[in-house]
Structure 1
Amino acid sequence: MKLLRYGPKGQEKPGLLDQNGKIRDLSKVVDDIAGAALSDATLAKLRALDPASLPEVPGEPRIGPCVGSVGKFVCIGLNYADHAAESNLPVPAEPVLFGKWTSAICGPNDDVEIPRNSKKTDWEVELGVVIGKEAKYVSEADALDYVAGYCVINDVSEREWQLEHGTQWDKGKGFDTFGPIGPWLVTKDEIADPQQLDMWLEVDGHRYQNGSTKTMVFGVAALVSYLSKVMSLQPGDVISTGTPPGVGMGVKPAPVYLKAGQTMRLGIQGLGEQQQRTVDAK
């Protein structure tokens, strides 16, 4: 099942993507794709619906972030050994945690703003994990039971602010529009193994990232379990699980960074695609 949110920014409605790629309106069934709507019981209720019985949404509305009212946007750094190598950093012995501010969240095809005076804005295709029920001190064996589904995330990063203004990565990760999420929240029953998903990213048609979640240092179950030991996870919390190699910072012989007027396209097997245009922040 592919769930989504559509409509103007701040006024998104819940929807479902039918087998023909048409958006069906869920607003008479759930208030939003958020919170309690992500529980096993509610997802089972939505799965039992006949999509043809739901109103078809006309035209091509804006697609918003696939999850609403996100409480925490938790990210994992250096979670692919080859990305750690291109960053000239050691493979971590434990997950590296940082946060993106929820104000960074935007729709999967919204414009991405290049911060004022930025010369080092970079891209990162990542697997997103959406929590479906409260997780606290859960075992790795049980961890996937707490997942509602998966999505595509572009962990846009400003490297100067991330690495050259002290040690807090959060500063370079949380600019407005630096967290495109979606297009769909694909429920976990459709993803047989989250550790076997191909992923890619292009800038202006040039393929920079080609990877697979199978090369993660810490898999999804390990991450959910680990995070649940240092914080409780609530329904709608989003985990961005790290990026494979091919980021702009790692391009040889010289890094390549984003500037206004470019187009990023990225996707993950079974989870859909995003496309963003870069613009100067006003």
Structure 2
Amino acid sequence: QLESEAVLKAIEAQHGLLTERARGIFSFSYLAFQEYFTARKIVASHNLGGLEQALSGLVSHITDPHWREVFLLTTAMLRSADSLVQLMKQQIDVLVAQDPYLQEFLLWASQKSQMIPTEPKVANSRAFYLALAQSPHTAAHFALACTLDQGMFLDAALDNLLLECANQSQDFACANACSEALNNILVTVLDAGFYKSLQQLRDELPSANQNREWLEDGWQKHYSIWVEELRETIAHYRNINHSWEFSPAQQQVLESYYNANQLLLDCLHSNCEVTAAIRQEIEATLLLPQQELEAREWQ
């Protein structure tokens, strides 16, 4: 034992590969070594007949960002990564399965995505609306970067308009900015009823021709009502901008859920061996609510 300790000390001092974290406890000084050998250990367990148990142990860390590289390495090393990606998908769905409010949120995103044409992929559309509902300030950039679909671009523009209206001061400059934004949005609106409603809201905005006293008094009193009418109109015609109110715990779960789905996609897009049927099934069911997942099982 003394000899082995001396060897470890020598490696630590001369090569820097190992470091003593606590008395008698050594680990690799470079995280990449630990990640690589952890993945090798998981894959090697296949030869001992304990692959499923090893993979289940790995999947239990699906929400831990420290294990990201281990997932990617293991996926690439396995002769067939089918079992691993399926277990990952199951574990990810479990994260939100027991929360009715989060399930309602996923159902809304799924319903919105079904209104979008087949290109882009439906799963991409679900991801777009989940991101839109949680981070409206990035909506316009998300739409421009990820899709040219007119409906999704319209939803992003409307969401951004509401955000801007809610955050601006209640003066003529604000009203003018809202009017200009509505003019730009109206160009993309095809629904006659929605177009008319937005047009009426735009016409309610004050103009430079109105007297200053009304602008300072009447418009400021009416502003919050106008914004709420705009919100209700958008929710009615486009089924977006609902007041999703997540608790801190739910926000954390959603973030973990989103990141875990991203990890699963990264694994699928890496240099791994996954059969086409399983790959297609996973991609088709990303971000689906539990009731739709269960319905697919009976098809």
Q: Which TM-score bucket, shorter chain as reference?
A: under 0.3
Q: What TM-score do you get using the length of structure 2 for normalisation?
A: 0.22
Structure with more of its chain in strand, by fraction: 1
Q: What TM-score do you get using the length of structure 1 for normalisation?
A: 0.23
Structure with more of its chain in helix, by fraction: 2
